[in-house]
Structure 1
Amino acid sequence: MDGEGLRPLTPKYTNMAKSSWFILVELLLLLECLSHLSISQGQGYDFFYFVQQWPGSYCDTRKACCYPTTGKPAANFTIHGLWPNYNNGSYPSNCNPNSPYNATKISDLLGKMEVDWPTLACPTNGGTRFWTHEWEKHGTCSESVLDQHSYFEAALNIKNKVNLLKVLEDAGIQPNDQFYREPQIREAIKAGIGYTPAITCNTDSSKNRQILEIYLCVDASGKDLIECPKFPTRCKKPPLQFPIF
């Protein structure tokens, strides 16, 4: 009887035990991967591009421009957007169709947005279409960190910290239709704010390349400037015109 109680497993049962062990290990590894994926999806991005545009260049593009219903914006850089991005250069978009833009949630910010985040799209409008697009395409992808109010407020706060026009004018780079080298512009901004920008451009009807947008990078909290993990395509053919607006 004792001998039968200690009888070794047959090859059949040994193989079944090994298979069960391997399945258990694979399940544990899968659960660990899903856990990491869930954490990653909770934030859904690595950093933000904070993008400002020069209205004089925007209005010189083939699409032209229309002033908002509040009137011609000031001759200053204005916000284009605060865009979540991944470190590899790709980006999420339209992340939550169940979170539409709602002006009542940012009613206390609208006056500031009309100044710092105006629309130049045609036909003339008050900005609602522009802000709706920015929130639904980009803002919803940061919703785990920034709700709608916090998202727009974060962009406005960064704009207040970064006075690009003053930085450039202090370096002798002015919106006077003159031409400047891209490295000259980039180094002036880096010296003025401490972080390296990326500069994108447009081409006007005279085929002049112009300063269109300035990209800076912001950490995933939407609060602090950082060095960009990845730059967008920059203007590589100098010089760049800084048009009057």
Structure 2
Amino acid sequence: MTAMIIRTLIGGAVALGLAGAAQASDLKACTLPRDVVPAPAEVPPADQIHTDIPIAAYLLALYWSPEACRSNIPESDKAIQCEANSFGFTVHGLWPNGPDRVHPRYCRPSPPLSLKTVKANLCMTPSPWLLQHEWQAHGTCDWKTPEAYFKKARAVRAGLNVPDLQPEANGTMTAGQVRAAFLTRNRGLRAEGLNVRVNRDNRLTEVWVCLDLKFKPAACRGGNGTPDPVTIRVTPKR
């Protein structure tokens, strides 16, 4: 498949409450096929439509891409995410969260994203299907347009110095080491503001960065996931 380099600016200022100035945005590049096709509009499951839940906090979900590729999760795009590129953490989504266990979701219908919008964000979230899903499931609850939603997601991501994880030779790290990799690079973050997520095989899947209503680091309202001493399996980057 013929491919070309699509360069997208991951930039924009964001008030994340980090000590000192936020990182300068860099020009990020990834390889995309010429025939990118937007995903169709999603039909929301009726039991997941929650249009009247107030927003109490935000969460930036970062997926560990090597694990997405190893396990062939349906949210990933194999050609973009696993064959043409070698990502570390990618953005799963920016989520408005409610005050309890039920969160705003699918707040209004939406047509498919434009090809321009999909291409502009594939180096951040390398899956046309996932971009469509994140906009419909989460973005519609707080932003007027998909472009505004993804602009904010890019800005929040650009305000973080996200590490590339280096597991031990046996492919393991402790959950505390994963947190420390974030904390040493981001002076404003706190351990209680990071939720380390693993699957049923004890493999790292995601790190959730918890934020308040001003998009500043905050303690995670739903807990912190895997405790620091626990040894977890981390799929290495290829």
2:64 is aligned, of 54, 59, 83, to 54
- Cα 1:90–1:96, aligned 2, differ >3 Å: closer, same or farther? same
Work out whether residues 84 and 138 of structure 1, in 8 Å CA contact, stay in contact via their aligned partners in 2.
yes
Cα distance, 1:188 vs. partner? 3.3
| Distance in 2 of aligned mates of 1:190 and 1:225 | 15
Q: TM-score, normalised by structure 1?
A: 0.62
- Is it true that 1:155 corresponds to 2:153 in the alignment? yes
1:200 is aligned, of 159, 176, 197, to 197
Higher strand proportion: 2
Q: Which residue of 1 aligns with 2:122?
A: 114
Cα distance, 1:149 vs. partner? 1.3
1:178 is aligned, of 171, 181, 206, to 171
Work out whether residues 72 and 78 of structure 2, in 8 Å CA contact, stay in contact via their aligned partners in 1.
no
Q: Which runs of 5+ in 2 are unaligned?
A: 1-50
Percent sequence identity over matched residues? 20
Q: Which residue of 1 aligns with 2:233?
A: 241
- Cα 1:163–1:73, aligned 2, differ >3 Å: closer, same or farther? farther
Cα distance, 1:52 vs. partner? 0.7
Cα distance, 1:243 vs. partner? 1.1
What is the identity, as a one-letter code, of the residue corresponding to 2:90? T
What is the identity, as a one-letter code, of the residue corresponding to 2:55? Y
Work out whether residues 53 and 98 of structure 2, in 8 Å CA contact, stay in contact via their aligned partners in 1.
no
2:88 is aligned, of 76, 86, 90, to 76
| Distance in 1 of aligned mates of 2:70 and 2:168 | 13
- Higher Cα radius of gyration: 1
> Secondary structure, in 3 states, of the residue corresponding to 1:115?
coil
| Distance in 1 of aligned mates of 2:142 and 2:65 | 27
Pairwise mapping of residues 1-245 of structure 1 onto structure 2 (< 5 A)?
A: 44-61=54-71, 63=73, 66-69=77-80, 71-97=83-109, 99-103=110-114, 107=116, 109-119=117-127, 127=128, 129-143=129-143, 147-166=145-164, 168=165, 173-174=166-167, 178-193=171-186, 194-195=188-189, 196-203=193-200, 207=201, 209-220=202-213, 224-232=215-223, 234-236=225-227, 238-245=230-237
Q: TM-score, normalised by structure 2?
A: 0.64
Cα distance, 1:139 vs. partner? 0.8
Q: Which residue of 1 aligns with 2:40?
A: none
Instruction: Note the alpha carbon deviations across 1:78-135, whole angstroms, 9 max, x for none.
Output: 01011110232321111112x334326xx2x54441111102xxxxxxx1x2211111
Cα distance, 1:227 vs. partner? 1.0
> Secondary structure, in 3 states, of the residue corresponding to 1:59?
helix
Work out whether residues 57 and 202 of structure 1, in 8 Å CA contact, stay in contact via their aligned partners in 2.
no
Instruction: Note the alpha carbon deviations across 1:203-240, whole angstroms, 9 max, x for none.
Output: 4xxx4x2211010123335xx33213503561358211
What is the identity, as a one-letter code, of the residue corresponding to 1:186? R
